[in-house]
A and B are shown apart, each in its own frame.
Chain A
Amino acid sequence: MTCPEPTAPATVPQIPPDARDVMVADDISRALRRIGHEIIERNKGAADLVVLGIPSRGVPLAERLAAAISQVEGIDVPVGQLDVTLYRDDLRRQPTRAAGRTDIPAGGIDDKVVVLVDDVLYSGRTIRAALDALAELGRPRAVRLAVLVDRGHRELPIRADHVGKNLPTSREERVHVRLAEVDGADAVRISGGERR
């Protein structure tokens, strides 16, 4: 038996040189701060919030978002990660990847408001898998979705509650999210397809 190479930072495809910047580091931190404020406003505070990142790049985003909320509200927001590999519906169509870790904060998710965090919202299938994974771990009072980039082309009736940037794309284009914690520097870039 053989296993495909992991999607570790070192093996992430190089961003083609013709890629265009969509967000730079300042844009990303401003977007996260705004999303933090939106969450606090909608939730009327930070009580009962649990922020869960979806690996790999949702995890550092979740940590930054939780830190932003904590800073405004002055309380520690529990943060964790939710691996959805085992719940994906496309496992049969792609090379098997190693499943990641799920790490739920000590207080659990029962009766909490869970904010799922991912880098790019595309087909919506990852989020569907995340909702299934969440249901096995407890019963949150509400689940909300925050994403850095919404690039459209949904295949399921799923939408984000909080979006860093709406980015109209064609399916031929590729969105690259790079984060300091994983890749050394922050950037959102787009490559491929026709220039618009």
Chain B
Amino acid sequence: MTRHLISSADLTRHDVESILATAESMHDVQRREVKKVPTLRGRTVINFFFEDSTRTRSSFEIAGKWMSADTINLSAKGSSTSKGESLRDTAMTVDAMAVDALVIRHNASGAARQVSQWVRCSVINAGDGTHEHPTQALLDAYTLRSRMGRLDGKHVVIVGDLTHSRVFRSNVITLKTLGARVTVVAPPTLMPAGVTAWSETDGFATSWDLDAVIDGDDAVDAMMMLRVQRERMSGGYFPTAREYTVGYGLTRERLERLVRRNPDVLVMHPGPMNRGLEIAAEVADAPQSVVLDQVSAGVAVRMAVLYHLLAGESAEQLPEGAQA
């Protein structure tokens, strides 16, 4: 049994469904007056964030605390990393304190995998560079499933800065695992190199034309708008913000066309949103928007991931005949 969650590709359909089922019962805990279960008492989870984050870090922290694990937050600023300690030394130092899990976000793609080879504890990838963000894909799947049931055959469109998006990479994998049909849309400059080969092997569609996808034969069940990552760009991907919005932003007019085709269409955004750039402010607050459901699902899904990775440490089998 693997102890880590590095890539969405690590998860079989059965794994994803187990996690989502557990997340439902975690969501029940979240709605209770006493939001605490003793399941991970005595376990320690370190959130190591080399990059800024609001929702991922706080939801991992809340998830750990509600499961009664001790959670500790470290950031690059204020840790020995700012004194020049290498990632390997930092990871091994933390591991030597006998923690049970390391939740890591790092600006280098592959950092989580690398760290998992150096430590004994479980490693959970909370975003590595432009590579993957598996728990985001799980919470997006949870949000979609709670609104539309099974995802088999559903058409999900992912729009935006695909080149720099780990959310896109993990989401394509998890959505395909659950049987959804995926179309990805981006301006040519933000379409990652090699996407054609990947789309052929994994069976998703690519397009440069958002309006053609909206008006296409295949009605859209969910629109996932990605953030334009200004901090990752040194410019040159598109002329102006206005031009991006005209070509690829989810405007009210585009939403109206989507609703006309499918009244139950959902609008998603992993956050943080650039209102007025990739998504119009009124669309973000429209009844079709499930942006806050995604945040709320984040805690439940991360509780479920911690539970599946940490609750049953040894793979010892239940003795034959064991019953309550």
Contacts and interface: CB of A to CB of B under 8 A. Distances in A.
Counting contact residues on chain B (CB < 8 A from A), the size range is 35 or more
Interface of B is mostly: loop
A83 B25 contact: yes
A105 interface: no
Contacts of B32: 136-137
Contact of A99 (B2, B25, B318): B25
Contact of B307 (A5, A96, A171, A174): A96
B316 A94 contact: yes
Interface string A160-172: 0000000000011
A9 interface: no
Nearest to B122: A1
Chain A contact surface mostly: loop
Contact of B313 (A1, A6, A85, A92): A92
A132 interface: yes
* Residues of A in contact with B, size category: 35 or more
Contacts of A118: 324
28 contacts: A1-B1, A1-B3, A1-B4, A1-B10, A1-B305, A1-B308, A3-B18, A3-B19, A5-B14, A92-B311, A93-B318, A94-B316, A94-B317, A95-B312, A95-B317, A96-B311, A98-B21, A99-B21, A100-B21, A122-B323, A123-B323, A124-B324, A125-B324, A132-B38, A137-B32, A174-B320, A174-B323, A192-B320
B18 A120 contact: no
B58 interface: no
B45 interface: no
A86 B324 contact: no
A151 B320 CA distance: 15
A69 interface: no
